[in-house]
Amino acid sequence: MPAAVHVADHPLVQHSLSLMREQATGSSEFRHQLGQLSRLLAYELTRGEALHAVAIRTPVAAATGQRVDGSKTVFVAILRAGLGLLEGMLETLPGSRGGHIGLYRDPHTLEAIEYYFKLPHDVAECELVVVDPMLATGHTAVSAITRIKQLSPRSIRFVCVVACPEGIAHLHAHHPEVPILTAAIDSGLNEHSYIVPGLGDAGDRCYGTRE
Ligand code: URA
C-alpha cells in the first residue's frame, strides 16, 4: 500500500490557493501567496517534529523551554517553481537547510537530464522534503526522487500545492514509500499536461515570464 496523501485543508491554505488560482492574480501577489502557503504547509509537515528541553530564564524565574532542531531536515526545491516554496519553509523550520535540483526533459529521448544538483554533504543523515508546486504528470518528481535516493537519505517526503490523480499514481508507482502533502487534488490533466483547473504554469506565474 502506498504512503499517505495528505490534503492540507486549513482555511488559510485554501484562501491562498484560491487567490493563486485566479487568472487575474499578478506575479507579485502570486509569489506572496505561494510564500504564505509554504509556511502553512511547513507547519503541517512539522507537526510531529521532536522537541528537546532547554534550560531558559524568563524575566521572572528559571524555567524549561522546548526547542525544535531542524538541522537534519533538508528542503529540496525542484527548479524553478520549487523556489517559490523554499524560502518560507526554511524560515519556518529553525535550522533547516536547502538543496536544489534542476532537470529538463530531452525533447528527443524524453529522458530527464540533470543540469543542476546541490545538496548538503551529510544527506545520508537527513530527512529530505522535495518541493515543487505542481504534481502534474509526476515525471519530474519521480526523476528528482530517483536521483536523490542515490544519496540514501533517511527519508523522503514530497510537498506540492496542487496534485492530480495521474501525478500521485505515477509518483507512488515508482516511489510508493514517499508521503505526499498537498493543498489540493484537482480533477486531472488536459491534453497539454496542465492540471485542471490548476493554476496554469507555476513557474511563469511566479516570475512573470509569460503574459
Ligand atoms: N506545471 C505547471 O506549472 N502547471 C501545470 O498545470 C502542470 C505542470
- At residue 84, the pLDDT reads 97
CA–CA distances in Å: residue 5 to residues 110, 167, 202: 27, 12, 21
| Distance from Cα 157 to the centre of ligand 1, integer Å | 20
Amino acid at 117: F
Mutate to test the pocket of ligand 1, among 140, 195, 209 (most ligand atoms within 8 A of CB): 195
CA–CA distances in Å: residue 39 to residues 79, 85, 91: 19, 8, 8
Over residues 42-81, the pLDDT tens digits come to 999 999 999 999 999 999 999 999 999 999 999 999 999 9
113 Cβ contact list (under 8 Å, min separation 6):
103, 104, 105, 106
Domain count, the chain: 1
Residue 64 half-sphere exposure, CB side, CA atoms within 13 Å? 3
**What is the distance between the terminal CA atoms of the chain, rounded to a whole angstrom?**
43
Mutate to test the pocket of ligand 1, among 134, 160, 164 (most ligand atoms within 8 A of CB): 134
Pairing mode of beta strands 51-57, 127-131: unpaired
Average pLDDT of 180-209? 97
CB 184 within 8 A of CB 162: yes
Which pTM was predicted? 0.96
Over residues 140-156, the pLDDT tens digits come to 999 999 999 999 999 99
| Residue 80, preceding peptide bond in cis (omega within 30° of 0) | yes
DSSP string, 51-96: EEEEEEE-SS-EEEEEEE--TTEEEEEETTTTHHHHHHHHHHSTT-
- Residue 197 grid cell: 483547473
Average pLDDT of 175-191? 98
- At residue 168, the pLDDT reads 98
Residue 110: count of CB within 10 angstroms of its CB: 8
Q: Identify the helix (H) or strand (E) that includes residue 118.
A: strand 112-118
- At residue 78, the pLDDT reads 97
Average pLDDT of 156-171? 98
| Distance from Cα 196 to the centre of ligand 1, integer Å | 9
- At residue 105, the pLDDT reads 80
CATH number for the domain spanning 159: value is 3.40.50.2020
- At residue 211, the pLDDT reads 63
CA dist 125 and 73 (Å) reads: 9
Over residues 98-143, the pLDDT tens digits come to 999 999 888 788 778 999 999 999 999 999 999 999 999 999 999 9
Whether residue 5 is predicted with pLDDT greater than 90 in this model: the reply is yes
- At residue 82, the pLDDT reads 97
Residue range(s) defining the domain that contains residue 78: 5-207
Average pLDDT of 157-175? 98
CA dist 81 and 195 (Å) reads: 15
| Distance from Cα 162 to the centre of ligand 1, integer Å | 9
Closest Cα to residue 133, out of 11, 41, 209? 41
Mean model confidence pLDDT for the chain = 96
Nearest CA, atom 4, ligand 1: 201
